[in-house]
Amino acid sequence: MAEPVRVAVVDDLPLFALGIRMQLDATDDLTCVGTASDGRSGLELVRRERPDVVLMDIRMPVLDGLAATAALQDDGADAPRVVVLTTIRHDEAVYLAARAGATAFLTKDARPEVLLATVRAAAVGETVGDTDQLLRDFGPPPARPRVDALAALTPRERETFLLLAKGLTNTEIAEGSHVAEATVKTHVSAVLSKLGLRSRLQVVVFAHEQGLVGGASRAAER
């Protein structure tokens, strides 16, 4: 049996954090390694426990979730996936967190099954959440397409990039391109590495900002 996904919860509302912890620990494949009430103590928790995923509130005392998310990216390959928590879906800070390296975002009123599905998806690097309205509300106007923006990518990687930008999962890309899912994972890793991006959500933001897609994503909540 595979080891459970290790999750840290960083939120300044103790009862909310406790509720999430109880939901995580009630499953066989997820476990909470600890909670913290501000961004600074959250960073200490993450660097001590090395979780796979961090559920990170945005607005907290001492150090907010945006700054904490950005700080975690300095850990490089050891950085966990970050799911930002917000009280409202269309929040400018969520957009900024995506640019800072967050993998996904989740509203605090999400159903338990959505919470758990989001954590599971984030653990394997899948984009979750609908970014269309987020980009329309807070993203800069799409730029004129830059032909050199994807110059570092091979034709197959460029194709993968554009499919990622539309919110497709690895499985969907594999089925549509008639290739093995393992091959898709290789292309996705290459795209992220060559473009200096941390997550699939950053691919969507990057594509929008560079004017490389006509719309944002169609990523569905899972």
CATH architecture of 137-209: Orthogonal Bundle (1.10)
Domains 5-125 and 137-209 share a fold: no
Q: Where are the domains of the chain?
A: 5-125, 137-209
Instruction: Tell me how far apart the alpha carbons of residues 20 and 144 are, in angstroms, rounded to a whole number.
Output: 43
Instruction: Tell me how far apart the alpha carbons of residues 117 and 123 are, in angstroms, rounded to a whole number.
Output: 10
CATH class of 5-125: alpha beta
Q: Can you give the pTM of this predicted structure?
A: 0.76
Tokens, residue 144: 């004129």
pLDDT per residue rounded down to tens, the chain (222 residues): 679 999 999 999 999 999 999 999 999 999 999 999 999 999 999 999 999 999 999 999 999 999 999 899 887 777 899 998 988 766 677 788 888 888 888 888 889 998 999 999 889 887 655 555 566 666 555 555 555 778 899 999 999 999 988 878 888 899 988 889 999 999 999 999 899 887 888 888 888 778 776 544 443 333
- Pairing status of strand 53-57 against strand 104-107: unpaired
